Amino acid sequence: MKLVKAIIRPSKLPDVLRALYAAEITGLTVSNVRGHGGEVEVVETYRGTTAKMELREKVMIEIGVSDSFVDTAVEAICNSAATGSVGDGKIFVLPVERIIRVRTGEEDMAAVTPIR
C-alpha cells in the first residue's frame, strides 16, 4: 500500500481528476496549499506598496492505493498535470503501514480502493 501525494497547479485539477477517474482511481483527498518551488519570484505593487510573493497557490491530491495502482496513478497525474513549464508540481510516493476504513472497520488491502 502506498500514499501518492501530488502537488499541482490549481488550473490542472479538473484534468487530473478526469484522468484519475478514467484510471478507476476514485478515493482521494484534495487540499488547497501554498508553497515555493523553482518558480521565479514575483514582485507585485499594490497601492504603492511593493511586496514579494514568496508562496504560490497549489493543490495537493492524496491517494491511498494498492501497490499495483501506484504506476497507474502516477502516470495519470503526470500526463494530465504537465504543462512543460516550471511549477508543474511534484509527486511523492510514500509507504503506508496501516489503513482503516472508519465506516466498516476494514483494514489494509480491504480498506484501499481500488485493488487489482
In sequence order, what are the beta bridge partners of 63? Answer: 4
pLDDT digits (tens, 9 = 90+) for 74-84: 999 999 999 99
As assigned by CATH, the class of the 2-112 domain is alpha beta
Average pLDDT over residues 13-25: 96
Model confidence band, residue 21 (pLDDT cutoffs 50, 70, 90)? very high
13: left (phi over 0), alpha (psi -120 to 50) or beta: alpha
- What letter represents residue 97's amino acid? E
Q: What pLDDT digit, counting tens, does each position of 85-94 carry?
A: 888 999 999 9
Q: Would you state the pLDDT for residue 113? A: 66
Mean of per-residue pLDDT scores for the chain? 89
Q: pLDDT band at 115, cuts 50/70/90?
A: low
Tell me: the pLDDT tens digits for 22-52?
999 988 999 999 987 776 666 777 777 777 6
Q: Which residue is associated with the grid cell 478507476?
A: 24
Nearest CA-CA partner of 5 in 77, 57, 62, 64: 62
